[in-house]
Copies of this chain bind each other. A is one copy, B any other.
């Protein structure tokens, strides 16, 4: 690999001059530029990024952090949308993405990750931070590195989906259809802040409608998976066969539930309404298509990255809460009068 020194020699100038030309720092003639450039060209010179990083302190590297918790990170369909959003912003600015997927336990993230984070190797960080178990972005970890959290972690700068508004809208939809005997399919809510918020929303709307949320039939041992949606709906309907609607905390569980109730001979939405949350690809494709909440995940990624670059630019961007969108499809309808 040719170095600055070789370019300088070939061009007949000093390495400082070459550096100036390449970084467009003022004060050189067109003549010099030409000489330098043609030397660069001939030698196929490329800057050594490690050297540049060491010297300037700028790595042009953004850490994108998706903690690995209860399941593989990439099995979460939202992750890819978020990544897409972040990627677009970084690409536009010539920044590279270092993808970090720390194992998160109750002791916090793994040692590799801690070191990476504290090493100042990353100019900035965008992290999914939604897990009460532990933050990948706690103040002691992130130190001086600008960071944006996607989620409910307690951070000065964050982007969130409006889970409260989303769950409220979803529950209002179900209740306004006339349902009152409503079952809830969810996961251990200590797992996820956004799940907790969704419960708050469901609760509020239920109470306003005169329903006691705490007493609604619930299955809370799901794990986000399709299988647990099947299991949960079976368990609920076994004890409460008069339910006219199932509100599920995510789409995969909702799709599992639909399959299960169909297997049990019920029609969706005629016999029972089932709604989800997330609007994954399968939600639109499924038959019946799933009524659900679109979190607009790519937007989460875009906004988070934009905020991060604002921070790097010494601006002070406001945190953002992104409104969700109710997608009414085929899986929800008024309850049958007969039941």
Contacts and interface: CB of A to CB of B under 8 A. Distances in A.
Given A87-B101, A98-B96, A285-B226, A51 B48 contact: no
B46 A119 contact: yes
Contacts of A149: none
A287 B121 CA distance: 48
Interface residues on A, range: 35 or more
Interface string A75-117: 1010111011001000100101111110100000000100110
A70 interface: no
A51 B46 CA distance: 18
A74 interface: yes
A1 interface: yes
Contacts of A115: 46-47
A72 B80 CA distance: 10
A74 B64 contact: no
Nearest to A110: B91
A46 B120 CA distance: 9
12 contacts: A46-B119, A49-B119, A49-B121, A61-B98, A74-B87, A80-B80, A91-B101, A96-B100, A97-B100, A259-B285, A259-B287, A281-B282
Given A53-B54, A282-B285, A285-B285, 8 more contacts: A46-B118, A47-B115, A48-B121, A50-B53, A54-B54, A74-B81, A91-B101, A97-B99
